[in-house]
Amino acid sequence: MEQSPQIGARITDKSAPPDDGAVREWIGSAAFKHWVGLQNWIEKFYPGVFMPEWLYGGQKRGWSLRYKKTKAFCTFLPEYRRFSAVVVLGRAEREKFEERRYVWRSQLVSFYDEAKTYPDGKFLTVAISSADDRHDVTELLMMKRPPPSRG
């Protein structure tokens, strides 16, 4: 009898990056709606800026989808029955976050406070299970890199 993966487990089959169908099956249809919603938001507000790239982080970290131009913008983590996004906040972004600390939702501030700070920034991981969670991530991303003006 095969055991089901634990909630939050990563896709670790390194033979090929997962396609949309594999991601949907792994994270579930509700989480996949947020996955697609955030992808569409990035494409709408940052048209042609980022080329998403699948990265394989080994048996422990599995596959992730990174949005990057010169610096990392965000990374999507397809986890079993869950979707999380990672936003790395450098020194300037952490200062901006702190300036707005009392404007953010308390759950996001808790994630921020609990995130470890490394020399290259604070890696903020946000599990996205609601429109509010997704909105928090889009606000973080706009704070990190304002969308190009559309003239």
| Average pLDDT by stretches of 10, the chain with 151 residues | 80 94 96 98 95 93 95 95 96 95 95 93 94 96 89 51
Check if the beta carbon of residue 64 is closer than 8 Å to that of residue 54: yes
pLDDT at res. 120: 87
Q: Is the residue at 66 inside a domain?
A: yes
Dihedral sign, Cα of residue 31, residue 37, residue 41, residue 44: positive
Q: Is the residue at 81 inside a domain?
A: yes
Q: What is the residue range of 102's domain? A: 20-144
pLDDT at res. 105: 95
Q: Is the residue at 10 inside a domain?
A: no
pLDDT at res. 16: 93
pLDDT at res. 2: 60
Q: Is the residue at 9 inside a domain?
A: no
CB burial readout 114-127, b (16+ within 10 A) else e: ebeeeeebbebebb
Number of folded domains that form the chain: 1
Q: Percent of the chain having pLDDT more than 70?
A: 97
Q: Is the residue at 2 inside a domain?
A: no
pLDDT at res. 1: 55
Determine the longest span between alpha carbons in the chain, in angstroms.
Answer: 59
Q: What is d(CA 55, CA 74) in angstroms, rounded to the nearest whole number? A: 13
Q: Is the residue at 100 inside a domain?
A: yes
